[in-house]
């Protein structure tokens, strides 16, 4: 079996042990005589998977019974619309910090509904950092304050939790969910498309205060109301069972590895290896993110010119390094090093970067 | 490996050959060195899967370039809302034939938006048949006329294609999509949650006339506009890649088996075996559906009393027959015999039914 180091931003590398487990039991799940993709979502074997995944996620986040985990389809992009539809009004708008494309898209959905307001933006600096606390202009009567906690495209991440003056804090954590301990209790509503750190594309995990989601506007379509998911344990209709099942295994893998403190330790170490190569390259590699906003998950950097960048991607592939081409909005390279990227993969990339620099520094 | 005969209504049994293929290549897809759940949706290996699945579905349906295949998350239940949001207005309402729970739910979403109207209903007969052509009251200026082509819960199916007098025909085909040749050209908009006949839960296939979906209302949220999916080849955001990948394999399996004519031949034969047992049981087994509305996919029947029904389910399980308990709204039994249910499974069930009757006819 061939296995590459997969630095794609999402879908992304998953723990090999989890993949092997999925493969081993794919034809006969839990002695049911059926595949996990064939069993009824109303059956006891499936409900066990579903409820265990929810419980493990809450436990990893250190959250209690006042929070609920929902599984919703449609990607974070559908959440961008559901959030203002459910929570904002023209009188109590949603307040948004723009720190990249996804936070801007989230704001656009609210704006399209006439219920969005910008609290801060670093667009003028090509989103090379997240807004600072002192830049946030959050209206006291805002329905919520929304941030994107890690910006996949730009390689930036919040290293502080914004103070909102009592306004409920909402966060898109699609690209750093469960990557390190965070005081999640400070958030009222967290959501994450799972395809970066947690599992196969097809489900968004919402972790929200029950008090927020237990009753939705009856004028909203059934599938756009959070209370539909809350009241029915995310089983109002057939859930994306396979994605939830793998997410459950990944959550278990995180727990068995030592939980978020151990993930953080590994992720800090991996990120440091790559940022050190950049910082010690005498300017050959230029990081896109400001140092105080550097993401532990997505390391973005440029090379001296585009020809070298193309050469870098091509030669990386020859060295079993896949998916390092950056997003067109930033250019250059991006190495996504989520929980499941092993330290060896990062070491291989770091060595390759140093060698590439030596050969090409002109 | 244990393998049961899985008569669940969905998620449901899938072709064993497809499951084995998925399992075999799960750690290394198409020599990428990555699992199908890890590869980028912007990569060439994934796009090949995505586009081939679309092409095979259109080919199986005998549709040409004036139709487009979309992959959308959220289940058929989200389509119930997206359809009226995209196509109906208070002046040009959506017209609905109610033939079961799902068609009624579809209507409710339109009604909630103030844009729905009932064209016919068989609710007074506990949905034991689909409405007849002569019962359909479709306004000439309706935006569309919506039917549920097969009613999973009640075990009924349309065996004719409604004449609509020029009103675009929309159909939920979640439970009989690709089960038999249909003159699909008579439909403007077809959709199907895949978890019954086509693959793992997590994606809805929409097959629609391009002219309908190429431009949507700009006031709608991005993820609720069909043109978002149309313009971006259903890759505006990360698609539910694993479900699409398996759907592609199932479509290929149907093609390699001889296409829809062969599926129909097998499905007619399987359904006849079970309906014959019912009809020849001297009233021990009572079919729920009227004969002219009988579904080829879901065979619903009751036993003389509830105690016998419980006994039937329990003894069936001992005979490797799983998932035959009916929906609470109909009671009794339901055997779902989608494309992937082998004839042997149906024969085993038929033999069990006959034996059960002999032992319990009192």
Rounded Cα–Cα distance for residues A108 and B218 (Å):
12
A218 interaction partners in chain B (CB closer than 8 Å): 112
What value does the mean pLDDT of chain A take?
A: 97
User: Above 90 in pLDDT, residue A289?
Assistant: yes
pLDDT value of residue B315: 97
Asked if A81 reaches chain B (Cβ–Cβ under 8 Å), the answer is: yes
pLDDT value of residue B312: 98
pLDDT value of residue A43: 94
Rounded to the nearest 5 degrees, what angle is found at the Cα of A161, between the Cα atoms of A158 and A165?
Answer: 135
Rounded Cα–Cα distance for residues B360 and B314 (Å):
14
Check if the beta carbon of residue A145 is closer than 8 Å to that of residue A170.
yes
Using CB atoms, which residue from B13, B34, B238 is nearest to A10? Answer: B238
B interface test, pick of A31, A42, A74 with most B CB neighbours within 10 Å? A74
B:245-304 residues touching chain A, CB 8 A cutoff? 246
Rounded Cα–Cα distance for residues A249 and B299 (Å):
36
Bond prior to A11 in cis (omega within 30° of 0) = yes
Rounded Cα–Cα distance for residues A154 and B168 (Å):
45
pLDDT value of residue B361: 86
Using CB atoms, which residue from B13, B23, B37 is nearest to A11? Answer: B37
Angstroms from B279 CA to nearest CA on chain A: 29
Angstroms from A200 CA to nearest CA on chain B: 5
pLDDT interval class at A2 (50, 70, 90): confident
Rounded Cα–Cα distance for residues B169 and B163 (Å):
9
pLDDT value of residue A361: 86
The partner residues of B108 in beta bridges, in order of sequence, read none
B:8-27 residues touching chain A, CB 8 A cutoff? 8-14, 16, 19-20, 22-23, 26-27
pLDDT value of residue B61: 98
The partner residues of A299 in beta bridges, in order of sequence, read A335
pLDDT interval class at B229 (50, 70, 90): very high
Contact flag B241-A201 (C-beta cutoff 8 Å):
yes
Contact flag A32-B75 (C-beta cutoff 8 Å):
no
B3 interaction partners in chain A (CB closer than 8 Å): 27-28, 33-34
- Tens digits of residue pLDDT in B113-129: 999 999 999 999 999 99
Contact flag A240-B236 (C-beta cutoff 8 Å):
no
Check if the beta carbon of residue A53 is closer than 8 Å to that of residue A248.
yes
- The closest alpha carbon to A236, from A228, A227, A224, A226, belongs to A228
User: Above 90 in pLDDT, residue B2?
Assistant: no
Q: For residues A193, A198, A202 and A208, what is the CA-based torsion angle, rounded to 10 degrees?
A: -50
Looking at per-residue confidence, does A308 or A362 come out higher? A308
A39 interaction partners in chain B (CB closer than 8 Å): 6, 8, 11
**Residue A349's CB: how many other CB atoms inside 10 A?**
26
- For a pLDDT cut of 90, what percent of chain B falls above it? 98
Bond prior to A86 in cis (omega within 30° of 0) = no
Residue A178 DSSP code? T
Angstroms from A32 CA to nearest CA on chain B: 8
**Average pLDDT of A105-131?**
98
How far lies B170's CA from each of B84, B181, B206, B310, in Å? Answer: 11, 17, 11, 38
pLDDT value of residue A226: 98
| Residue in B with minimal Cα distance to A72 | B74
Asked if B121 reaches chain A (Cβ–Cβ under 8 Å), the answer is: no
Rounded Cα–Cα distance for residues B248 and B30 (Å):
14
User: Above 80 in pLDDT, residue B362?
Assistant: no
Tokens of B269: 């034969």
pLDDT interval class at B340 (50, 70, 90): very high
- The closest alpha carbon to B83, from B15, B142, B7, B11, belongs to B142
Using CB atoms, which residue from A34, A199, A201 is nearest to B4? Answer: A34
- The closest alpha carbon to B300, from B152, B97, B180, belongs to B152
pLDDT value of residue A358: 97
Asked if B319 reaches chain A (Cβ–Cβ under 8 Å), the answer is: no
**Average pLDDT of B344-356?**
98
pLDDT value of residue A126: 96
pLDDT value of residue B248: 98
Rounded Cα–Cα distance for residues B139 and B154 (Å):
27
Angstroms from A216 CA to nearest CA on chain B: 14
**Average pLDDT of A164-178?**
98
Rounded Cα–Cα distance for residues B331 and B303 (Å):
9
pLDDT value of residue A1: 73
CB pairs under 8 A between A and B: 222
Q: What is the 3-state secondary structure (H, E, C) of B286-341?
A: EECCCHHHECCCEEEEECCCHHHHHHHHHHHHHCCEECCECCCCCCCEEEECCCCC
Tokens of A321: 């390094």
User: Above 80 in pLDDT, residue B1?
Assistant: no
- Tens digits of residue pLDDT in A9-66: 999 999 999 999 999 999 999 999 999 999 999 999 999 999 999 999 999 999 999 9
- For a pLDDT cut of 70, what percent of chain A falls above it? 100
User: Above 90 in pLDDT, residue B325?
Assistant: yes
What value does the mean pLDDT of chain B take?
A: 97
- The closest alpha carbon to B300, from B64, B60, B128, B119, belongs to B128
Using CB atoms, which residue from B77, B221, B236 is nearest to A109? Answer: B221
Contact flag B75-A73 (C-beta cutoff 8 Å):
yes
pLDDT value of residue B155: 98
Rounded Cα–Cα distance for residues B80 and B99 (Å):
15
């Amino acid at each position: 079996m061939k296995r590459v180091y997969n630095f794609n931003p999402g879908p992304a590398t998953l723990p090999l042990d989890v993949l092997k487990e999925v493969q081993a039991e794919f034809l006969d799940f839990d002695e049911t005589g059926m595949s996990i993709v064939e069993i009824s979502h109303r059956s006891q074997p499936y409900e066990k998977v579903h409820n265990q995944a929810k419980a493990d996620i809450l436990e990893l986040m250190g959250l209690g019974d006042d929070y609920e985990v929902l599984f919703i389809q449609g990607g974070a992009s559908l959440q961008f619309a559901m959030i203002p539809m459910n929570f904002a009004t023209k009188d109590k708008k949603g307040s948004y910090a723009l720190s990249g494309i996804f936070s801007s898209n989230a704001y656009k959905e609210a704006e399209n509904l006439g219920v969005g307001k910008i609290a801060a933006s670093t667009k003028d600096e090509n989103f090379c950092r997240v807004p600072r606390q002192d830049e946030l202009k959050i209206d006291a009567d805002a329905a919520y304050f929304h941030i994107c906690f890690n910006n996949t495209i730009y390689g930036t991440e919040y290293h502080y939790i914004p103070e909102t003056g009592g306004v409920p804090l909402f966060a898109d954590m699609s690209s750093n969910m469960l990557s390190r301990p965070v005081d999640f209790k400070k958030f009222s509503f967290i959501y994450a498309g799972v395809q970066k750190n947690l599992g196969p594309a097809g489900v968004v995990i919402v972790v929200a205060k029950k008090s927020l989601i237990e009753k939705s506007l009856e004028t909203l379509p059934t599938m756009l109301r959070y209370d539909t998911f809350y009241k029915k344990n995310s089983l109002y209709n057939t859930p994306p069972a396979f994605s939830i099942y793998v997410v459950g295994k990944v959550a278990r893998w995180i727990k068995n590895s030592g939980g978020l403190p151990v993930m953080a330790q590994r992720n800090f170490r991996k990120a440091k290896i790559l940022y050190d190569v950049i910082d010690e390259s005498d300017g050959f590699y230029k990081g896109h993110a400001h140092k105080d906003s550097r993401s532990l998950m997505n390391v973005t950097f440029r090379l001296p010119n585009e020809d070298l960048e193309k050469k870098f991607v091509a030669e990386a592939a020859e060295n079993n390094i896949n998916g390092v081409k950056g997003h067109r909005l930033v250019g250059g390279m991006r190495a996504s090093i989520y929980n499941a990227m092993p330290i060896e993969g990062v070491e291989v990339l770091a060595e390759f970067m140093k060698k590439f620099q030596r050969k090409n520094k002109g």
